[in-house]
A and B are shown apart, each in its own frame.
Chain A
Amino acid sequence: MAHGSEPITRGLPLWPGRIAAGLVLLLTLGTLLAVGLRAGSAGRFGVADWAAIRFTLVQAVLSSVLSVAAAIPVARALARRSFPGRRFLIAVMGAPFILPVVVAILGLLAVFGRGGVINDALIWAGLPAISIYGLHGVVLAHVFFNLPLAVRLILQGWATIPAERFRVAASLDMSVWRFLEWPMLRATVPGILLAIFLICLTSFAVALTLGGGPRATTVELAIYQAIRFEFDLGRAALLAGVQFTICAVAAAAAWWIAVPSALGGGLDRVVQRWDTGGSTRFSDACAIGMAALFLLVPLTLVLSRGVTEIAALPNSVWLAAGRSVGVAIFSALLCVVAALALAMLRGSAVAGLAGTLPLAASGLVIGTGLFVVVHPVMDPARLALPVTALVNAALALPFAYRALSPAVEQVEASHGRLADTLGVCGMARVRLVLLPRIRAPLGFSLGLAAALSMGDLGVIALFAGDAEETLPLAMYRLMGAYRMDTAAGAGVLLVLLSFGLFWLFDRGGRHDRV
């Protein structure tokens, strides 16, 4: 037993991590500085700005509370029922994480939008139609995305209750809810609420497609409008400062409350229980059935409508798809190289900061900063694709860092000393020891980053002209022109490419050479 060894040398090179950390800090805090300098020349808050702040907070609170409230019965039902398709449903619940937002929005429009299934039924029944645009639409979309996330996270909480406890509870006739489930929820739910709140603060694409107008504009959307429509960079910068402050406060709160990891496994198990007879069977079936319908119907509608359109897609969409694939692959490489470099700093404070800061950063805020910097020098549209790749890489960095950092630690723990005595240090250590041992998390991170970038509709909307359109942007513009069938076709293509890239990279990492 070594009693807390103090290493004399560090085998892995540190310079890549220092460069990466510097770049991340420059991108997140440096752009903020640019924003701040620019905002100095702006006026004061107007009524519209206060409305945007209020709307941002209200929709995020509503979205997170409703997502978690709806997720609890679903997670409970999944935790205590075993049925055919259970694994599939849980796997599907993991998919929205890399599902392009525009595709989901199109699906929700197909159900709840004008000319959607529900409005058709209402009109047929002689009732007034409903509109999906505005607060309830934004919240609906956020629940669509975050309900599955919340279900998986809460299900993890259920999975941590040992099976023996249920046996003890049954033999003593204790209340499972009061003694086992409620304490678990009380411990996990605050962190989950906060995580979803944070996600809803920075989901620009949802606000762009379903929000708008004086009553449903988020701060991010206001930034976008200030740049694209009013070309008021000072006001955009001021709003970007506001957005950063809101996110920083929420992220600081998340630092105190343990926010759970969305990437955990071990959800396959159904614990044997003795309190699941009678009416609970019906309520569980309802919870699972409703959730499945809510998640699967919109997607099925888009995909089935779009499949037949793929062959007829205009050339411009294919070009956009090509650009998106290029951006996604470049962004994924950038992200994973930076994440690996940070992970090689072995848990230093700077690495932790650089690996977490992008969670609090909004792509729109970084984008505004870059826009302010670039604009005096050249036409921002010419940099649309590189900037998009860069910002996407930064936004995916925390997830890649969290996947790679433990893997690097594990390799160092099991092989570091051997490498040290042999003098396998520096880049030779990376090439000969580290990379071959972390292929699986490397592939997973590449796939995740590529898929996230592929589906991103954020900073690209800020920068792009027609010639720099990515696939999500092309799809958004088709939706804006009410070419819903073509948009659905582009949506199918986008889903195929996103999940295809993820599958390809992830699979590549798992494949063994032996």
Chain B
Amino acid sequence: MTASDGLQFDRLDLGQGDFSLTADFTMSPGGLVALIGPSGAGKSTLLSAIAGFLEPRRGLIRWHGQDITRLAPAQRPVSILFQDNNLFPHLPVWKNLGLALDPRLKLSEADRSRIDEILDRLGLAGMGDRQPGALSGGQASRAALGRVLLADRPLVLLDEPFSALGPGLRQDMLHLAARMMEEAGRTAILVTHDPDDARLVAQRTMLVMDGIVHPPIGTDALFADPPDGLRQYLGHSGDMSRR
């Protein structure tokens, strides 16, 4: 692994007006990295910039040394799961997944069998012809995950994607997502405001606070000795297991 491997923020400034958000480090690839911080700190802003929805005020974003700062969202090595609207409600599940293979939906037989295979792996066998509205919340989340797995893109952004699910189901989904990403050799960034989520599935965690994105450090180490700002955010007791 060379120094340029991974996701590099090169003196990145995502500010707008008075709001300022800077990042200047390289995140080495592999595994699931949590991105935590208070609401409004800029977690989603950073994700938007990586995904290509927001042009930085200054600085560059590189992936494995390639400058992706000005690329259109679809040209980036990036897949994203949003908080909601991850599936087009008017398209059946298999077409939603098929969009990851061809955005014009001209799909071959081979494409269809790849889609069926992924659905099988996610426990959605036989549900390809359903409309998203006919799926449960957990099934819809898994279908969206399937779309991400089908797309041939090494970096996956998870923008609180399971926050609409109940706590138990959400943890199950996080585990599933982390395992799938691991197996597929993807690098994933999980935005969450819940430190428990980070501790559950993320080996490393990045903290966004006071306008600065901090480089990732081991999740356990971070919570064992949280910096002042994080300690305040988590609550003054210092007991992080029950908030």
Contact A420 B90 (CB under 8 A): no
Q: B residues within 8 A CB of A414?
A: 85
Contact B44 A1 (CB under 8 A): yes
B-contact bits for A417-431, CB 8 A (1 contact / 0 none): 110111111001000
Given the complex of chains A and B, what is the CA–CA distance between A514 and B92 in angstroms? 10
- A348 located at the interface, meaning its Cβ lies under 8 Å from any Cβ of chain B in the complex: no
Given the complex of chains A and B, what is the CA–CA distance between A423 and B104 in angstroms? 9
Given the complex of chains A and B, what is the CA–CA distance between A9 and B51 in angstroms? 12
Contact B131 A428 (CB under 8 A): no
Given the complex of chains A and B, what is the CA–CA distance between A5 and B73 in angstroms? 13
Given the complex of chains A and B, what is the CA–CA distance between A9 and B75 in angstroms? 11
Q: A residues within 8 A CB of B88?
A: 415, 418, 432-433, 436
Given the complex of chains A and B, what is the CA–CA distance between A418 and B51 in angstroms? 10
Contact B131 A5 (CB under 8 A): no
Q: Interface size class for chain B?
A: 35 or more
Shortest beta-carbon distance from A513 to chain B in Å: 8
Contact B85 A428 (CB under 8 A): no
Question: Across the two chains, which residue of chain B brings its CB closest to A428?
Answer: B104
Shortest beta-carbon distance from B71 to chain A in Å: 8
Q: A residues within 8 A CB of B105?
A: 428, 432
Shortest beta-carbon distance from A56 to chain B in Å: 49
Q: A residues within 8 A CB of B45?
A: 1-3
- B123 located at the interface, meaning its Cβ lies under 8 Å from any Cβ of chain A in the complex: no
Given the complex of chains A and B, what is the CA–CA distance between A514 and B88 in angstroms? 14
Question: Across the two chains, which residue of chain A brings its CB closest to B14?
Answer: A3
Given the complex of chains A and B, what is the CA–CA distance between A414 and B78 in angstroms? 19
- B110 located at the interface, meaning its Cβ lies under 8 Å from any Cβ of chain A in the complex: no
Q: B residues within 8 A CB of A7?
A: 53
Contact A420 B73 (CB under 8 A): yes
Given the complex of chains A and B, what is the CA–CA distance between A428 and B86 in angstroms? 18
Contact A424 B103 (CB under 8 A): yes
- A8 located at the interface, meaning its Cβ lies under 8 Å from any Cβ of chain B in the complex: yes
Contact A422 B103 (CB under 8 A): yes
Contact B80 A421 (CB under 8 A): yes
- A164 located at the interface, meaning its Cβ lies under 8 Å from any Cβ of chain B in the complex: no
Interface residues of A in 421-457 (CB under 8 A from B): 421-425, 428, 432-433, 436-437
- B16 located at the interface, meaning its Cβ lies under 8 Å from any Cβ of chain A in the complex: yes
Question: Across the two chains, which residue of chain A brings its CB closest to B86?
Answer: A418
Given the complex of chains A and B, what is the CA–CA distance between A417 and B84 in angstroms? 11
Question: Across the two chains, which residue of chain B brings its CB closest to A7?
Answer: B53
Contact A8 B85 (CB under 8 A): no
Given the complex of chains A and B, what is the CA–CA distance between A223 and B47 in angstroms? 61
Given the complex of chains A and B, what is the CA–CA distance between A436 and B132 in angstroms? 14
Partner of B82, one of A418, A424, A433: A418
- B91 located at the interface, meaning its Cβ lies under 8 Å from any Cβ of chain A in the complex: yes
Contact B72 A8 (CB under 8 A): yes
Shortest beta-carbon distance from B115 to chain A in Å: 14
Number of chain A residues whose Cβ lies closer than 8 Å to a Cβ of chain B: 25
B-contact bits for A472-514, CB 8 A (1 contact / 0 none): 0000000000000000000000000000000000000000001
Given the complex of chains A and B, what is the CA–CA distance between A24 and B176 in angstroms? 54
Shortest beta-carbon distance from A13 to chain B in Å: 14
- A6 located at the interface, meaning its Cβ lies under 8 Å from any Cβ of chain B in the complex: yes
Interface residues of A in 6-27 (CB under 8 A from B): 6-9
Contact A420 B53 (CB under 8 A): yes
- A4 located at the interface, meaning its Cβ lies under 8 Å from any Cβ of chain B in the complex: yes
Interface residues of B in 72-120 (CB under 8 A from A): 72-76, 78-80, 82, 85-86, 88, 90-91, 99-100, 103-105
Q: A residues within 8 A CB of B52?
A: 8-9, 420-421
Given the complex of chains A and B, what is the CA–CA distance between A428 and B98 in angstroms? 14
A-contact bits for B8-47, CB 8 A (1 contact / 0 none): 0000001011010000000000000000000110101100
Shortest beta-carbon distance from A428 to chain B in Å: 5
Given the complex of chains A and B, what is the CA–CA distance between A423 and B75 in angstroms? 8
Contact A421 B90 (CB under 8 A): no
Given the complex of chains A and B, what is the CA–CA distance between A2 and B191 in angstroms? 14
Q: B residues within 8 A CB of A428?
A: 103-105
Given the complex of chains A and B, what is the CA–CA distance between A6 and B90 in angstroms? 28
Say whether, besides A421-B73, A432-B91, A415 and B85 are in contact (CB < 8 Å).
yes
B-contact bits for A34-51, CB 8 A (1 contact / 0 none): 000000000000000000
Say whether, besides A3-B19, A424-B103, A417 and B74 are in contact (CB < 8 Å).
no
Given the complex of chains A and B, what is the CA–CA distance between A3 and B56 in angstroms? 11
Contact B90 A437 (CB under 8 A): yes
Partner of B70, one of A8, A418, A421, A424: A8
Name, among B51, B80, B90, B131, the residue most crowded by chain A CB atoms within 10 Å (CB to CB). B90
Shortest beta-carbon distance from B206 to chain A in Å: 17
- B48 located at the interface, meaning its Cβ lies under 8 Å from any Cβ of chain A in the complex: yes
Given the complex of chains A and B, what is the CA–CA distance between A5 and B52 in angstroms? 10
Q: A residues within 8 A CB of B44?
A: 1-2
Contact B55 A6 (CB under 8 A): yes
A-B contact pairs, 15 of them (CB 8 A): A3-B17, A3-B42, A5-B48, A6-B54, A8-B52, A8-B53, A8-B71, A414-B85, A417-B73, A417-B82, A420-B53, A420-B74, A421-B51, A423-B74, A423-B75
Give 8 new A-B contacts, CB below 8 A, not counting A1-B42, A415-B85, A417-B82: A1-B45, A5-B54, A8-B55, A9-B52, A421-B51, A428-B103, A436-B90, A514-B133
Which B positions have Cβ atoms within 8 angstroms of A?
14, 16-17, 19, 39-40, 42, 44-45, 48, 51-55, 70-76, 78-80, 82, 85-86, 88, 90-91, 99-100, 103-105, 131, 133, 151
